[in-house]
Structure 1
Amino acid sequence: MRPEDFVVSVSQGVPQSVRELFWLVFFASRGRGISLDAHFPWLDDEIDVVCLQIADVRPRTHDTPLAALLIRKVDVAKGKCIGLVGLVCVAEEWRGKGLSTKLLSKAAELGREINLSALVLWTQKPDVYVGQGFRVDEQDIFCHVKKNISIYPTEKYSTNSWPDKKALEKKQGLAPFATFGEIIKSQKASLVVFHSAQISTLVDWEGEDVDVISLLHSALPDHWALTSNEDERLIFLLKEQGFHVEHRSSSVRMIKVLDAVTSIKIPQINIMDRI
């Protein structure tokens, strides 16, 4: 196929053939994953989810998708919406032909048409997106945490499977690295922990600082992980309480402003709500 033969098509919702490409690229090829619905429970939304794809339109190819991405529309302020961009992928044999560039260009064009204020994505390869007008907005870090064993755990708590009713209503998804989620609650605090074969990762928490720290001491194993923004207050509190914390840079959040007239503040977005 010639470059001019690559045409981007847009659809509300996600076609089955594209779902199969997503699963192959992001899960099957990496030996991980539960199901697309577990990780992205909003995939069936045909109002706020838009799929962009480039298909092989040659005879006898059955319009096989060669590349695709998703945009999920999210309200962030009164009358203001952003588009979360994710699952940007190209079939292995078609990489290096400019297909992702074509998709991202179309995504920006579409975003303006549907009045999105900005496009937002997370990546560990920011150089890929700089040329498309995206800029780094936030830095995530991944922390390995070792418990302070000198403090005796005393907090009583209960555990339940995640997602709970709240997560289901918000259509929050299990992170791709995880196999299951758990909610841990004391009388005054709660944690959401995602588990994998390698480690347990804290992804959300509620409660006063002292109550959260107490529950972390009591409920989590000697070694666990935390994924957060680099300025997260909890990291400093853990160090103050004698936890040993080692961290490394993880994904960056990148934004492309589409509405240059009206400024918009994009809030922090939890890993459960990302693409």
Structure 2
Amino acid sequence: MEQGMGMKGHVNEPWQYSVQEGVPLAARELIWEVFFKSRGRESTDLTTHYPWIDEKTGITSILIKPGRGLEHAPAVATLLIKEETLAHNKKVGLVGFVCVNEAWRGNGVGRNLVSTAIEVGKDKSFDMLVLWTNKPNVYVKHGFAVDSEDWYGNVWKRAERRTGHPFCRDLSGLRIDDVSPLGIPAFAKRVLLFSNDTASITVLQTNQGYTLAAWSGNWDAVFQIIEQILPDSWNLNAPANSDIYTNLESHGFGFEFAVGSQRMIKRLASKDKFCLPYIPLLKRI
């Protein structure tokens, strides 16, 4: 499907608006420029980080390009919507890669981009759109509301417990799986899963060190793997209401956190106000 300048609200504007299944080359080029090249992130290609980006089903791109003879110019703006079906057959659109070409910022393009995404969500009968941001004010004007937040920050062993041991100091009794082929966040280089029969932790390798992104099992078992794998200082991305913070204290760790990202939702079609479950970092767009 592709729609052009006839989309509601955009007829008289000097841009071409298109809605496409899959991710066209112009959208990929802008995403690469904004999220990788401009931030000095080393990578091979988008598919390495987001294997689903080559799919046609369940992925919708909104692309804005200059109009009137400038069809071959770089994209002005783009965003992607990834369809997910949750419990009770609730259909949501995960919104991500919202980006505007630097030369076109401040011209209202981003506002129109988000408005178009809302139109698309309604057309597809999504129950809601979901996105993660550290700039919530950009989306409040479109009817999005913050419903939860992640905290991100540094964790360290207290002075009397520091060992100076390196990453992966002790692999005894553990399985290690490189799950990077399932997807890698833009800020990371690898995703590693460490597990035994009772617990597991998922660690992102980044330019700044190591980030704990997910875990399973009882707390003592989880922290046993943390002690085996992570160095004296590491980073954590977790829900603000997670029990991990009290367990960090009880297991002898200090920490300092700030709001990392806020989850925002816009309800579109659902009459019953269902509670959206937590969506792990690695499952987001």
* Partner deviation per Cα, 1:61-84 (whole Å, 9 max, x = no partner): 415311000000001123211000
* Partner deviation per Cα, 1:222-252 (whole Å, 9 max, x = no partner): 1011101111111211111111111111110
Work out the CA distance in 2 between the residues paired with 1:113 and 1:33: 37
Deviation at 1:30, TM superposition (A): 0.4
- Flag structure 1 segments of 5+ consecutive residues without an equivalent: none
- Flag structure 2 segments of 5+ consecutive residues without an equivalent: 1-10, 164-168
Q: 1:193-272, aligned counterparts within 5 Å? A: 193-272=203-282
What is the RMSD computed on CA atoms of the aligned residues?
2.1
Residue 163 (structure 1) aligned with residue 179 (structure 2):
yes
Residue 150 (structure 1) aligned with residue 166 (structure 2):
no
* Partner deviation per Cα, 1:143-192 (whole Å, 9 max, x = no partner): 2111255399988343534217xxx5xxx421111111222223422111
Q: What's 1:14 paired with?
A: 23
Structure 1's 99 and 237: CA in aligned 2 closer, same or farther, altered over 3 A?
A: same
Work out the CA distance in 2 between the residues paired with 1:83 and 1:68: 15
Residue 45 (structure 1) aligned with residue 47 (structure 2):
no
Structure 1's 161 and 186: CA in aligned 2 closer, same or farther, altered over 3 A?
A: closer
Q: TM-score, normalised by structure 1?
A: 0.90
* Partner deviation per Cα, 1:83-142 (whole Å, 9 max, x = no partner): 000101110111111111111111111111111000000111111111111111111111
Work out the CA distance in 1 between the residues paired with 2:262 and 2:86: 19
Q: What's 1:89 paired with?
A: 99
Q: Is the 8 A contact 1:117 1:264 kept in 2?
A: no
Q: TM-score, normalised by structure 2?
A: 0.87
Which amino acid in structure 1 is aligned with residue 172 of structure 2? K
Q: Percent identity over the alignment?
A: 36
Structure 1's 60 and 246: CA in aligned 2 closer, same or farther, altered over 3 A?
A: closer
Deviates more, 1:176-185 or 1:148-157: 148-157
Q: Is the 8 A contact 2:175 2:196 kept in 1?
A: no
Deviates more, 1:121-130 or 1:153-162: 153-162
Equivalenced residues, count: 268
Q: 1:70-85, aligned counterparts within 5 Å? A: 70-85=80-95
Work out the CA distance in 1 between the residues paired with 2:107 and 2:37: 23
